[in-house]
Amino acid sequence: MSFYKPEKLPRLMIAPNGARPSKKDHPAVPITISETVETAKACFDAGADGIHFHMRDENGQHILDSGLCNEALSELQKKVPKMHLQVTTEAVGRYSPDIMRKLAIDVVPPGISIGIREMIPSRIPNSEDINLYKYLTENGTKIQHICYEPKDVDLLSSLLSSANITKEGTWCMLVIGHYSGIPSDPENISPFLKKLEEHKINADWAVCAFAKEELSCLKTAIKLGGKIRVGFENSILMPDGQIAPNNETKVKAVKNLFD
């Protein structure tokens, strides 16, 4: 199947479900594949050019399953052929690097997000890590490297150098804050950028942020030349603090930040 693979990181990506939010948190959190596809179409029509999505099992729990990923990618391709599709390898405390690597290799998706410190907990890339990133890169998978703190950029630089992967146009996601309640402070974006500059990584980067501080972080990211990711994975709030009715409404509310 020929998927859409943009050269540049999507300007506005939607993350509609994540690993943790449930219908109890918000009834519009997409859990099934059909719900995810419907949400993707609505968000694409609203202005999102990429989707970062998680698969859920029959109990609604986050799962790394290649069969489900391939099924979702196939259905999404039919509905949103011009939307960048990004699967996840997020561990959520349940999955080992071996399982994360297996999903990536089994699926070889058009796009994938990899939390670099989850994939390489030793912080020293080994041959399996190097081979994985080389394999995905050579097969055209667009990898977005998830950095939870500035020192993750040190590990990213080491990995790229070891795998002989260019540092030009590297896709990064800078996570500002945490779902558990660590505040999302826009002042925390600059330390990531300084680290990228230090390692001569010319990144194509975006941020995601949480709760009521989300909007200020998105505005700062755009001002600094970055891109953004929004959605119920990170916050169910609208810019005015009200609860969003659905993911596509959040997209509509933030797309004008680029104007």
Separation of alpha carbons 112 and 102, rounded Å: 13
Separation of alpha carbons 119 and 152, rounded Å: 11
Which one, of 214, 222, 151, lies nearest residue 185 by Cα? Answer: 214
pLDDT at 1 over 80: no
The SS3 of residue 72 is helix
pLDDT in tens, 44-94: 999 999 999 999 999 999 999 999 999 999 999 999 999 999 999 999 999
pLDDT in tens, 81-119: 999 999 999 999 999 999 999 999 999 999 999 999 999
Query: How many alpha carbons fall within 13 Å on the CB side of residue 220?
Result: 18
Separation of alpha carbons 238 and 251, rounded Å: 10
pLDDT in tens, 176-233: 999 888 889 999 999 999 999 999 999 999 999 999 999 999 999 999 999 999 999 9
pTM: 0.97
